[in-house]
Amino acid sequence: MPHTHPETELHNPQSTKPPLDPHLKALENEAIHIFREVAAEFERPVMLYSIGKDSSVLLHLARKAFYPGRVPFPLLHVDTGWKFREMIAFRDEMVEKYDLDLVAHTNPRGASENVTPFTHGSALYTDIMKTEALRQALDAGQYDAAFGGARRDEEASRAKERIYSFRTPDHRWDPRNQRPELWNVYNGMIRKGESVRAFPLSNWTEVDIWRYIQAEEIPIVPLYFAKKRPIVERDGMMILAEDPRLELLPGETKREEVIRFRTLGCFPLTGAIRSHATTLDDIISELETATVSERQGRAIDRDQAGSMEKKKREGYF
């Protein structure tokens, strides 16, 4: 039997997309395999959906993995209440368009104790509104597996994490005692209360994500593309100034700049970059010459050395 077939792919007449290059194809195959494995082995999987570019790719892969069936688990969005307006609009559009089940959760302490990024500082705010909120939502749904869009190239402690990342009943990650993970044979055995975070995009890089978005024509939040937008400069970051809750501090002024975002999170904690990239081609070529990593724009990752690992040990994604 031949190992390579000259015409492996017969094109769907409706599709105008050229076939994926072998590099992206291998990454896609691996991700689909992980999706199917988790869906088959766990009783209550959920997919963490943060509305960013990685989540968009994750969602697209989930739809592919279970086609022609529906995505067989809900999407969970931990809504801090401080996301970009366009993100929430985009989320609701996707849910509608792809017939998805969405669970959105906001930590009630946000409202009852008035926890905001301005009053509590980025570290404590993230602790309460993201980490604690995620734990609340996972407990409430009794999910035993949660898909996430984390990539190993994002950060040094993530580079160490398994594809099936085991969590204790209180959601802790023990980086010193990870289960061995050989070949693509995943160990999904857990006791009640324990869970697994599964990362189908582990081996993708930022450039892979963008190339895949381009090749597969995946919809993404428009904030990734450059446009003239109102901003204010704070702590060395350009923050989007469109939400009425953002109060200008003494000495700060609002101005317009042509900017875009390389990652999306809570708008007060996410820095924009000056850019004229208005197409995916522009973004990819900008990325190929970029001299700083994508996480530079995120306040929470800069708080302290090893901050990502610390957050993960405490149950943050």
Partner 1 sequence: MTAPALATAALDETAVALPVQEPARVARDSRPLRLITCGSVDDGKSTLIGRLLWDTKAVKEDQAASLQRDSKGKQNDLGLPDFALLLDGLQAEREQGITIDVAYRYFSTDKRSFIVADTPGHEQYTRNMATGASTADLAVLLVDARVGLLEQTRRHATIATLMGIRQFVLAVNKIDLTNYDRSRFEQISHEFKELALSLGVRQVTAIPVSALKGENVVYDGRAAMPWYEGPTLIEVLELATTRSAQTVGFRLPVQRVSRPGESFRGYQGTVAGGSVKPGDSVVILPSGMVANVTKIVTFDLVRNAAVAGDAVTLVFDRQVDVSRGDMIVAIDSQPMTGLAFDAQLVALQAEGIQPGKRYWLKSGSRRQRVQVQPINQLDLQSGKWNHADELPMNAIGKVHLAFDEQAIFDAYEQNRTTGAFILIDPDTNNTVAGGMITAKRATLGGIHAEDSRVILSLPADLADQLMATEIFSSRREDAEVRRVTAARAIEIIDTIDE
Please report, as residue ranges, which positions from 151 to 180 form the binding site for partner 1 (by CB under 8 A).
152-153, 155-160, 175-176, 178-180
Provide long-range contacts, Cβ within 8 A and 24+ apart, for 18-26: 18/215, 20/212, 20/215, 20/216, 21/215, 23/208, 24/208, 24/211, 24/212, 24/215
Residues 173-212 that bind partner 1 (CB under 8 A): 175-176, 178-185, 187, 189-191, 202-203, 205, 207
Q: Contact between 285 and partner 1 (CB under 8 A)?
A: yes
Show Cβ contacts of residue 230 under 8 Å, excluding neighbours closer than 6 positions: 240, 241, 242, 254, 255, 256
Show Cβ contacts of residue 302 under 8 Å, excluding neighbours closer than 6 positions: 296
| Beta carbon nearer to partner 1, 7 or 247 | 7
Q: How far is the CB of 140 from partner 1 (least distance, A)?
A: 24
- Spell out the alpha helix ranges (H) of 3-84: 22-41, 53-66
Q: How far is the CB of 5 from partner 1 (least distance, A)?
A: 4
Residue-wise over 297-317: b if at least 16 C-beta within 10 A, else e? bbbbbebeeebbbebbeebbb
Size, binding site for partner 1 by CB under 8 A: 74
| Beta carbon nearer to partner 1, 3 or 97 | 3
Q: How far is the CB of 218 from partner 1 (least distance, A)?
A: 12
Q: How far is the CB of 232 from partner 1 (least distance, A)?
A: 22
**Nearest residue to 165 (alpha-carbon basis) of 186, 135, 134:** 186
Residues 288-317 that bind partner 1 (CB under 8 A): 288-293, 295-296, 305-306, 309-310
Stretch that binds partner 1, among 34-42, 90-98, 106-114, 228-236 (CB under 8 A): 34-42
Q: Contact between 99 and partner 1 (CB under 8 A)?
A: no
Return the residue of 58, 65, 138, 272 that touches partner 1, per CB under 8 A. 65
